[in-house]
Amino acid sequence: MIKIAQFKGTRGVGAVVALLAAQCCLAQVGEPSKPKGPWMDKNLTPDQRADLVLKEMTLDEKILLVHGAGMPGFGPADPVLVRSNGGGGFVPGIERLGLPDLNMNDSSTGSAGGSRKGRYSTALPSTLALASGWNPRLARDVGAFIGRELADQGFNISLGGGVNITREARNGRNVEYLGEDPILAGNLVAQWIQGVQSQGVIGDIKHYAVNDQETGRYFVDAVIDKRVLRETDLLAFEIGVKQGKPGMVMCSYNLVNGGWACENDYTLNQVLKQEWGFPGWVISDWFGTHSTVRAALAGLDQEQPNGRYFSDALKKAVESGAVPAARLNGMVHRILRTEFASGIVDSPQPTKVPDVLRGFKVAQRAAEESIVLLKNDNSQLPLNAATVKSIAVIGGHADAGVLSGGGSAQVDPAGGNAVPDPNVKQDDPLAIFSQVTFHPSSPLEAIRETAPNAKITFDPGTDPGAAAAAAKAADVAVVFVLQHTHEGGDLESLALPDGQDALVAKVAAANPHTVVVVESGGPVLLPWARQVSAILEAWYPGIRGGQAIATLLFGKANFSGKLAVTFPAADADLPHPKVPAPAGKKPGPMDGLMNSVPPFQAVYDEGLKIGYKWFDAEKKAPAYPFGFGLSYTSFAYSKLKVTGGSSLELSFQVSNTGKRGGQEVAQVYLSLPPSAGEPPKRLIVWEKVALRSGESKTVTMTIDPLYVSVFDSSSDRWQIVPGEYKVMAGPSSATLPLSAAVSLTGSR
């Protein structure tokens, strides 16, 4: 049995659960039980059915449902864990009532590996990559595809749906989230969740709330003004919860304004349940529960992964009246009504081999829509496959595959890690946490397939002199650079590690046609940007990443991705010069998980100024602004019409003025009246418009009143401030050729 002290560099508790469960047990998928009782009447509403079951349940059965079955090595585990499907979490069903086992799995970018080694699922591009597609339809399709594979593998609950906004650009988990803008992130996560749930799988949104850094994540106290909280982090959740209707909300590890997120009456009871009317259940992050009575009364409905606080202790608290029986019934009702609403009771799904080929298509489309062209001097790209004679491919293990983010969301690479790490012992059950994983989609091979007549060499980039010589000998140099990020730790700096900047500079000096492909979890510093002729931000592009990169490089697909995060020019330009950390020794990735460590504060005094709002307000020029991304064609904007008054409506025209078809992410920003006290502008709506060469389309938009509102802390309400507004439209947050003034009458 593995003891906590043995963990090194751990990145995901859920994945630990899965691994350890696998070590101890032969996992089996819980068989769906035969329907019994009047609650099986599908004509009744989920709430009616939940109430009928509740009436039948004993106290012990209710308690069984409100906590996980445990985790070997981390306190007592229920023997029933042998039935687990090897995912991040397991709650046994109740056969006599026809309630199925709850098999949960992490699924940010695909059904995560968990403990069952050798189980294939499609590795989609990172979640931040998906955000860079700015395409709600794509987010839904990706969610639906992930939901399908979860179901095919025997899981009925997704633990994906990360939507913490990029407040801290160095956050190791930004890769699992949807960027820095709450309206963009909230809308995309909503579609993703709807997609997952369309497959009869219960969806999740996480990590609620303000879990915006990994440094000291188990004991960081996020200190944040109420209005700021509501207009930034919580706004993304508000949109995600209201539009996406997830079955579960996962409360986070950290504290918010002095109270643990999983026992926070304000965020859980008052905002999520009462104000937003969330009918599902609040599930704790793994070991994120800190009390019984306080947590139960504050709105936590289910403890994971075990029942340290919500098993015997909760039973006693209910018996003594410290937790009213009605509150326990409320917890159980929320779980049951979600089970009925989702279909997992009525239509348990058979397991299947995932549809690998369809997965390739979805993954490649997602990668092609999300890779961002940051620079393309003198139309260096697309490369012409028929005429290019020689290409030097350099660095980034491009001969083997593409990089992946690390942690509990890790999708097992097909055929094993494409770049095995000699420092990681493969028989170490914790290897998944410490190794840097590559998916076997080699950009080099894809480039060779795309340009079969060109001479294509590969240099690993370990010796900049040799790489420069290879570059000099070729028509074009394509350099791959990597920045690995993962759960459980943050970056010290956005700079590329391991001398890669020097490598690029040396190659660029040797060949004027140098193209750089960046694989990163989030923004990076590109100090050599002026010296190279083209730059692609490819994120972690998934199982078809190599093919997508080649397709775009050679113009077989057009770029349409735009940044969902600002790329700063320097770390020093960020709101916090360093990631907030406790005084003294840097916390290890497991500090505070099972032991009690005094909290430290991260004071988010940048207020509403997150991402581009910070750069705008502070008048700092970013290296690449939010919303930016080039295309192989060009677009023009015209004819902005805006109607104000009691609501905001607008229309404008986008035209493809270039020689080939493409998609443009047309963005609309709003400046509020000075009396609103807001940053200079905010994104309020966008549309991804597909246009043939020469084609024009008029986009018409009605703006959700929430997106033009400000949160008034004194009345605890959203309100529209009366006054003069400015509406701006264009291709990025920094280039907004159209603008119009409009007045709004204001409202509550």
- 206 class by beta-carbon count within 10 Å (0-12 exposed, 13-18 middle, 19+ buried): buried
- Which two structure tokens, joined as six digits, stand for 694? 């020469």
Determine the Cα–Cα distance for residues 139 and 196; give it in Å rounded to an integer.
Answer: 10
Determine the Cα–Cα distance for residues 481 and 484; give it in Å rounded to an integer.
Answer: 10
Tokens 């907030």 -> residue: 580
Minimum distance from CB of 121 to ligand BGC (Å)? 15
Binding segment for ligand BGC among 9-17, 276-284, 388-396, 712-720 (CB under 6 A)?
9-17
Which residue blocks in 511-642 are alpha helix, DSSP H? 545-553, 612-617
Print the binding letters for residues 676-715 with ligand BGC: x by CB under 6 A, - otherwise. Answer: ----------------------------------------
With binding defined as CB under 6 A, does residue 12 bind ligand BGC? Answer: yes
Report the candidate in 268, 161, 254 with the shortest Cα–Cα distance to residue 211.
254
With binding defined as CB under 6 A, does residue 490 bind ligand BGC? Answer: no
- Which two structure tokens, joined as six digits, stand for 716? 């605890």
With binding defined as CB under 6 A, does residue 303 bind ligand BGC? Answer: no
Binding segment for ligand BGC among 12-20, 313-321, 620-628, 707-715 (CB under 6 A)?
12-20
**Using the rule CB under 6 A, which residue among 46, 70, 73, 88 binds ligand BGC?**
88
Minimum distance from CB of 13 to ligand BGC (Å)? 3
Minimum distance from CB of 338 to ligand BGC (Å)? 17
**Using the rule CB under 6 A, which residue among 285, 303, 412, 519 binds ligand BGC?**
285
Print the binding letters for residues 149-168 with ligand BGC: x by CB under 6 A, - otherwise. Answer: ----------x---------
With binding defined as CB under 6 A, does residue 182 bind ligand BGC? Answer: no
Residue with smaller CB distance to ligand BGC, 254 or 663: 254
Minimum distance from CB of 79 to ligand BGC (Å)? 21
Residue with smaller CB distance to ligand BGC, 71 or 268: 71
The 3-state DSSP class for residue 158 equals strand
With binding defined as CB under 6 A, does residue 283 bind ligand BGC? Answer: no
DSSP code of 99? B
With binding defined as CB under 6 A, does residue 438 bind ligand BGC? Answer: no
Minimum distance from CB of 171 to ligand BGC (Å)? 13
Residue with smaller CB distance to ligand BGC, 286 or 480: 286
384 contacts 513 by C-beta, under 8 angstroms: no
CA distances from 487 to 218, 541, 663 (A): 12, 18, 33
Minimum distance from CB of 160 to ligand BGC (Å)? 8
Report the candidate in 500, 436, 446, 513 with the shortest Cα–Cα distance to residue 473.
513
> One-letter amino acid identity for 436?
V
Residue with smaller CB distance to ligand BGC, 287 or 624: 287
With binding defined as CB under 6 A, does residue 15 bind ligand BGC? Answer: yes
Binding segment for ligand BGC among 8-16, 316-324, 578-586, 626-634 (CB under 6 A)?
8-16
Residue with smaller CB distance to ligand BGC, 58 or 596: 596
With binding defined as CB under 6 A, does residue 106 bind ligand BGC? Answer: yes
Report the candidate in 495, 532, 534 with the shortest Cα–Cα distance to residue 510.
532
Residue number with the smallest Cβ distance to ligand BGC: 14
Minimum distance from CB of 355 to ligand BGC (Å)? 25
What DSSP assignment string belongs to 347-405?
Answer: -PPPP----HHHHHHHHHHHHHHH-EEEEEGGG--S--TTT--EEEEESTTTTT-EE--
Binding segment for ligand BGC among 13-21, 127-135, 144-152, 697-705 (CB under 6 A)?
13-21
Minimum distance from CB of 218 to ligand BGC (Å)? 9
The arrangement of strands across the sheet holding 102-105 comes to 89-91, 102-105, 157-158
With binding defined as CB under 6 A, does residue 261 bind ligand BGC? Answer: no
Residues forming beta bridges with residue 223, ordered by sequence position = 603
With binding defined as CB under 6 A, does residue 589 bind ligand BGC? Answer: no
Determine the Cα–Cα distance for residues 447 and 449; give it in Å rounded to an integer.
Answer: 5
729 contacts 640 by C-beta, under 8 angstroms: yes
CA distances from 218 to 290, 296, 426, 595 (A): 11, 20, 28, 10
Determine the Cα–Cα distance for residues 211 and 721; give it in Å rounded to an integer.
Answer: 30
Binding segment for ligand BGC among 7-15, 59-67, 177-185, 725-733 (CB under 6 A)?
7-15
**Using the rule CB under 6 A, which residue among 187, 289, 408, 441 binds ligand BGC?**
408
CA distances from 255 to 164, 481, 588, 607 (A): 14, 36, 18, 18
With binding defined as CB under 6 A, does residue 286 bind ligand BGC? Answer: yes
Minimum distance from CB of 473 to ligand BGC (Å)? 47
With binding defined as CB under 6 A, does residue 667 bind ligand BGC? Answer: no
Contacts with ligand BGC by CB under 6 A lie at 12-15, 88, 106, 159, 206, 285-286, 408
